[in-house]
Amino acid sequence: MKLLFHIGQFGILMKRVFSKPDNHKVLFRNMLKEMDKLGLGSISIIMIITFFMGAVVAIQTALNLESPFVPDKIVGFTTRDSIILEFSSTVTAVILAGIIGSNISSEIGNMRISEQLDAMEIMGVNSAGSIILPKILALFIMMPFLVIIAMVVGISGGFFATLSVDSVSVQNYIEGLQWDFMPYKVFYSLIKSNVFAIIITSVSSYHGFFVKGGALEVGKASTRGVIYSIILILMANLFITYLMLT
Amino acid sequence: MIEVIGLNKTFGNKHVLQGIDFTINKGMCNLVIGQSGSGKSVFLKSVVGLHPVDQGQILYDGRDLTKLKHNQLKALRKEIGMVFQGGALFNSSTVEENIKYPMDVFTKWSKKEKQDRIDFCLDRVNIQNSNHLYPSEISGGMQKRVAIARAIALNPKYLFFDEPNSGLDPVTAIVIDDLIQEITKEFNITTMVITHDMNSVMEIGENIMFVYQGNKWWEGNKSMIFKTDNTELNNFVFASDLFKAIKTQVS
């Protein structure tokens, strides 16, 4: 029953979010600000995380698949596919849900408890649309770029890792990267990233928007926003994988 | 003018507002007073449409807020300015950006027109050289004045104040009271103030409603308060020794 209530309330909120904006110019300006804050602000952390993930995947593959029956280029191949299919989009999204999601929930939650959202409503502004929509659009646009950066940096991480592993040569790693490459997998990952962007921003916003109480409740809402975002990301990941890869 | 007729509001089993009738007159400071928990904030939020009402009419110059369609309500809200208890300033925007916000959203004014209006509003509330400060960098009294400047940015016809003096020292509170009164008269606005500050009542109370346990218990003006024999109102207004002494002196 509670789940149905939340689904209904979420639906009503999204209807308000995607209703006609009060002012397109203001929406565009806010969207650019959010692109800077949510997108560009996340690049460094994503680069650090995916670099080390790529390196670890390459080393583990090299150590675990060391066999005369397995071609050496398998390391590059596995690293590439792991990074492109999962790590660049899903793992990045999970990390961003933690960083951006909690940020969004607490920002909107604070606006709720300090009556800033009420002040907007009194002015005749659609508070949901003017606060949440720029965030959804911004991350929707920026997420594919973040994922592409994650792919490049992750694969580079694997490359640098192979320099320290005796069993794989750089030549084999590069050959493996090119082996049986399917651009469709990149497309699949980018589509996933767009869906994850919507989940992170909308779910976190929802939890912040309906906060009641004080600072403690804002913190709880922020945690809930992150948890539900991650669960929904993983569910959506399974669904999209069934849809696009099977 | 705003006419509130038979306003009822319940939260679960609690009947918070029980058929309140009140006329908020134009060009006058209309005060709603009452103890904490008496329902006056709920009354304000119902009148401005933040809480849906269960029963009753709220007529803004004949337009019933409870029956307006979405677009009509949006249009009406552009005529409303409100100053919240904590100011409700956008804390990630500067003083100037706070005042400019409604202009950005609802007007097609040029940059210069907007700047002129911002300067006028800030000047009207006696704030200088603080345009680029953030709300956290200014005092509570200044925050209230900036909130008033934002509320009058688009020339509202109706102005609401939710406990404008809470958290302010007596001197700043008088400044805010005077400002409310001046703005009301100067722009001929329909103003409603929610308060439990007796100084405000004595300073600007031209039309006062006393709310007690969700009911309208008394209505009058500041001079009538001294003559009333309403027990609950007397207990509320003359709770402090200072006001008891004033009453004795006046009587």
Chain segment A56-103, per-residue pLDDT in tens: 999 998 888 777 777 878 889 999 999 999 999 999 999 999 999 999
A156 Cα to chain B: minimum distance (Å): 38
Q: What percent of chain A is predicted at pLDDT more than 70? A: 100
Cβ contact A133:A17 at 8 Å: yes
Q: Per the structure block, which two tokens stand in for B53?
A: 């009402």
Residue B188: other Cβ atoms inside 10 A: 12
Quickly state the pLDDT bin for A245 (edges 50, 70, 90): confident
What is the count of residue pairs from A and B with beta carbons less than 8 Å apart?
54
pLDDT, residue A186, reads: 94
B78 touches chain A (CB under 8 A): yes
Q: Which CA distances in Å does B192 have to A48, B14, B72? A: 56, 25, 22
Residue A196 lies in a domain: yes
In chain B, positions 157-186, which contact chain A (CB-CB < 8 Å)?
Answer: 160
pLDDT attached to residue A107: 94
A5 located within any domain: no
Amino acid at B44: L
Is B80 near chain A, with CB under 8 Å?
yes
Contacts of B148 in chain A (CB under 8 A): none
* Averaged pLDDT, A185-201: 95
Whether the CB of B47 is below 8 Å from some CB of chain A: the reply is no
**C-alpha to C-alpha distance for B167 and A113, rounded to whole angstroms:** 17
- Higher-pLDDT residue of A141, B75: A141
Residue A10 belongs to some domain of the structure: no
| Sequence-ordered list of residues with C-beta below 8 angstroms from that of A233, at least 6 positions apart, any chain | A90, A93, A94, A97, A196, A199, A200
Chain B residue with minimal CA distance to A111?
B90
Number of H helices, E strands in chain A: 11, 0
Residues of A in contact with B81 (CB under 8 A): 122
In a domain, residue A186? The reply is yes
Q: Taking CB atoms and an 8 Å limit, are A130 and B105 in contact across chains?
A: yes
Contacts of A115 in chain B (CB under 8 A): 84-86, 88
User: From CA A172, how far away is CA A74, in angstroms rounded?
Assistant: 8
- Quote the pLDDT of residue B240: 67
The predicted pLDDT at position A187 comes to: 95
Whether the predicted pLDDT of B251 surpasses 70: no
Give domain status of residue A233, yes or no: yes
A124 touches chain B (CB under 8 A): yes
Q: Where are the domains of chain B?
A: 1-79+160-169+192-251
Specify if A6 maps to a domain. no
Q: Are residues B77 and A123, on separate chains, in Cβ contact within 8 Å?
A: yes
> How many domains does chain A contain in total?
1
Contact between B105 and A122 using a beta-carbon 8 Å cutoff: no
Domain B1-79+160-169+192-251 adopts which CATH fold?
A: Rossmann fold (3.40.50)
